[in-house]
Amino acid sequence: MSVSVLRLTARIGTSLALWTPSLHSRPRRGMSARGHPLAALCQLSVGADKQANLSAARGLLEEAKRRGALMAFLPEAFDYVGSSREETLALSETLAGDTLTHYAGLARTLDLWLSLGGFHERGPDWETERRVYNTHVVVNNQGQIVSTYRKCHLFDVEIPQKGVSLKESAFALPGPSMVEPVQTPVGKLGLGVCYDVRFPEFSLALQKSGAEILTFPSAFTPATGAAHWEPLLRARAIENQCYVLAAAQVGRHYPGRSSYGHALAVDPWGVVTADCGGECAGLALVEVDLEKMRHVRRGMPLAQHRRDADFYSGLERPVGQD
């Protein structure tokens, strides 16, 4: 996989190779010079102004299309980050609301598939319960919603010594179930959101259901991001022999709330092939080589070597212990 990284300042990341078409061949639309599909991994820095957030995302999506991507990935809370529970709830919408209507129009206009990584969707008993789902929405290039996954694992974490204090369940409902991987132009996509990455059984279930790419759009805190973000994403890629694409929020959203950034792409061998950095919004264009994934799986056939579920749940107690 080769990459290029674009900052909103139009600087190209010097630590990563710039993707350029072959001088000897003209790539097919949406493909690299080597014939592999291209995905755009986006990094945003949003606040509570939904129109400003949409404008920033639109700029990245237009650039992604100009650079040949078939699909673009936006982070968790791409629509907004509220400064309080009340603001978060007040700004929420249904799937039929203005925000997703705008993004569906962009998908059609740009002829681009979208992974919308975490939408504040009003819950089923909105008038009485007033809580939302954190919903990952996949929209095809015709503007149709083809998959929705509602985040199952909510981030209720208190680590005072690290300055981490968030309770997602104060305003969000846990999703009722996982969803089957969805076929996209860049590969079969297994949907997660942020905190889901910490549960290896979640990723394994998606991989067993056919996922070739795992995606964890996120808004990691600076403290947990610095400690765990890259190791978690690389582990999920290595143990499942999948690509991992993780769009991210970056920077300060409001006083007391910031995100780590470093939107990452990881290949099935566990190599980080794109990193958008921890400073500003931007995108990385990544090449998804599914034959490379198959090569990794053939060389180290983990699926064949894995024992059945009963084996792992049947730990024997040491002799002499009740």
Residue 135 neighbours by CB under 8 Å, 6+ apart: 95, 118, 119, 120, 121, 148, 149, 150, 151, 175
Q: Which of 63, 65, 151, 276 is catalytic?
A: 151
C-alpha closest to that of 83 among 198, 253, 234, 208? 253
Residue 251 neighbours by CB under 8 Å, 6+ apart: 45, 258, 259, 261, 279, 280, 281
Distance CA 96, CA 184 (A): 22
201 is catalytic: no
76 is catalytic: yes
Spatial contact of 54 and 102, defined as CB atoms under 8 Å apart: yes
> What single DSSP character describes residue 37?
B
Q: Which of 42, 63, 65, 76 is catalytic?
A: 76
Q: Which of 194, 242, 276, 287 is catalytic?
A: 194
292 is catalytic: no
Signed CA dihedral, 140, 146, 150, 152: sign only: negative
**Which residues are identified as catalytic?**
76, 151, 194
